[in-house]
Amino acid sequence: MKNVENIEKIATETIMISREEYDKLIDENQKMQKQIQWLMETIKLKNNKIFGSSSEKTSQEESDQISIFNEAEVESNLTVPEPELEEVKAHYRKKRSKKDRLPEDLPVEEIEYTLSEEEQVCPICNEKLHVIGKETVREELKIIPAKAVIVRHVRYSYACRNCEKTNTEVPVIKAPVPNAVIRGGFASPEAVAYIITQKYLMDIPLYRQEQDFKRKDILLSRQTMSNWIIKSSHMWLEPIYRKLHERLVASEVIHADETILQVLKEPGKKPQSKSYMWLYRTGQYEKYQIALYKYERSRSTKHAEEYLKGFSGYLHCDGYQGYKNIKNAVIVQCFAHARRKFDEALNCLKTEERKTSKAMIGYEYCNKLFEIERNIKELSPEEKLKKRQELSRPILDEFLVWLKSLNPAKQSHLGNAVNYTLNNWENLNNYMLDGRLSISNNSAEHLAKSFALCRKNFLFSNTPKGADSSALAMSMVETAKINNIDAYEYLTYIFKNAPQLDLEKEENIEKLLPEAFKNEKKKDS
């Protein structure tokens, strides 16, 4: 009983402290509350990044997106009738929706159905029948899986009959044979091009390609395929890469970004340490559309400075400080990054709090700017610049006044968004300087995502030479993509023609560039 009384006495006891100590405790308590709130927001944001959608679209837009895990169920609709036929001049073809479209120049294979000689008899008078017309009953899409063949190069030798009879020496002339893409091996230009596009375009790692070949009774090891990629890249793609790099640096608008890469056997570094794949591409309105990757050991600013040496113009990038040291470059920062900060602040809030939050106001300011860009994307650069001054400038001015009126806690995600936007305001606004510029750096980020998908499948590079080869191969594949040419056909064209040319000569390298390939395709067609 006494113990209970003592506890009650302690619980009701008044402790006297000074005002200074009291204020200090209140201050510490507020700091702890802010820290707890920050940690809770961070945990929520991390969970959202891991388990939630990476899109910054609204929930309504998200609901319309396709899940890659149930694509057949999402896309199928058994109540929709099969496509009807439409008559076009003298033949029929299926009406195609925007989703289902086939190339106009796709080869056509016709199967004709006729009556046998015995069946060509009139059922009434038993006289012979004759053809009075034919009709297309249906059209089908036929897909032929890839097949492998042995290409045997047979060379003929020639001698002179007259010299055989009259001279002591008989000249022997052999027919010329084109050089192989890899000397001493059995690789063909088509095989190397196929393996590269499967790995770097379709994101199929070599071990899965090895398994696929094995199912076709072709024993082609991943080591052999890796050797083919490295050898062909350094022998034939590197000279083309250097020429494309010259053109990139000579352009006036460049997009840049970087992404991590793990290289296991890198001298002086642990296998677990990070290396980087830097990527650069020309702007939308540049004469040459070029996308280049460059492997580097680190994220040091010296790499971007060295790679872009001689460049003078607008450089689209994110907020990484390394780009800001590049001479003669006007930095155009990505507004999508600023919007993403407000999106992160939104994701830290409860659903019912989001609609009226300051984070939503900042997010909507960004959305208004992006909406204007979507509406003017088909205009010329000159017209774009004029419309931006008319429509975007008032919103930017209003946005800045609103940002400066806030005083959010620094250790909060709203504070991060506000401070990031204010600290980078000038560079974020630089897209207003020229109609050729973009509000975002998405074109470079798409290249980073392309590499990230490949990296997700092959996980890492074994050696720096392998990482360099990946950079060369990815550069050719992505440059082909943004030039609207088939990457497999373009690589085959390079591997067939490059071994026959002296690549020390500038004019020969130009024969292997994307525009040369396009011209050859036009001649063939």
- Token digits for 138? 């249906």
Question: Three-state DSSP class for 92?
Answer: strand
Alpha carbon distance 525, 522 (integer Å): 5
Identify the burial level of 243 via C-beta atoms within 10 angstroms of its C-beta, where 0-12 means exposed, 13-18 middle and 19 or more buried.
Answer: middle
Q: Measure the CA angle with vertex 23, ends 20 and 28; round to 5°.
A: 125
Tokens representing 483 are 């030039």
Measured between alpha carbons, how far apart are the two ends of the chain, in Å? 104
Find the Cα–Cα–Cα–Cα dihedral 176, 179, 184, 186, rounded to 10°. Answer: -100
- Residue 193: enclosing H or E segment and its boundaries? helix 189-200
pLDDT along the chain (525 residues), means of 10: 52 68 72 67 63 54 36 45 50 55 82 89 88 85 82 90 83 90 92 94 90 91 92 96 97 92 72 83 95 90 92 93 88 94 89 89 95 95 96 96 90 90 96 96 86 65 81 95 96 96 95 95 81
Res 68: pLDDT: 32
The letter for the amino acid at 326 is: I
Q: Which residues pair with 282 in a beta bridge?
A: 254
Q: Which of these, 316, 343, 332, 252, lies nearest to 61 by C-alpha position? A: 343
Of 436, 331, 316, which Cα lies nearest the Cα of 384? 436
- Residue pair 492/190 in contact (Cβ under 8 Å)? The answer is yes
Pull the structure tokens for residue 125: 């008078």
CB of 432 closer than 8 Å to CB of 393: yes
Closest listed residue to residue 513, CA positions, set 233, 214, 237: 237
| Structure tokens given for 288 | 């040459």
DSSP 298: S
pLDDT at residue 203 in the model: 86
What residues form DSSP beta bridges with 276? 260, 296
pLDDT given for residue 44 in this prediction? 62
pLDDT at position 445, please? 86
**Burial 199-224, CB ≥16 within 10 A → b, else e:** bbbebbebeebbeebeeeeeebebeb
pLDDT of residue 63: 35
pLDDT, residue 299, reads: 85
